Amino acid sequence: MTGYGSEREAYLKRLRRIEGQIRGLQRMVEQDKYCIDILTQVSAATKALQSFSLELLDEHLATCVVQAAAAGGEEADLKVREASDAIARLVRS
């Protein structure tokens, strides 16, 4: 079971919006738009993905990790390690 189940439709809506931003970037390149304008839109798409990632991570910590920690054992250790690794990847990106 996923922790984001109750927010699934909202997450999908956000991802579709981000997909639209990426398609807009493709059109800008196809239309030879000004480089700085494209970079501005890249920055907006990057921020949207980062925001999505942080919300999903928060949801994961609040549900999956908390539930595993309450249960204890190896599952708890695994979930904490997964979350830590995910945070490290986000920080490096």
> What's residue 1's pLDDT?
55
pTM summary value:
0.84
How many Å apart are CA 12 and CA 16, to the nearest integer? 6
How many Å apart are CA 36 and CA 25, to the nearest integer? 12
Domains present along the chain, CATH in parentheses: 7-92 (1.20.58.1000)
Crossing angle of helices 73-92 and 35-60, in 10° steps, is: 170
How many alpha carbons fall within 13 Å on the CB side of residue 25? 16
Q: Please write the tens of the pLDDT for every residue from 30-82.
A: 999 999 999 999 999 999 999 999 999 999 999 999 999 999 999 999 999 99
Residue 7: which pLDDT band, with cuts at 50, 70 and 90?
Answer: confident
| Whole-Å CA distances, 37 to 21, 40, 43 | 13, 5, 10
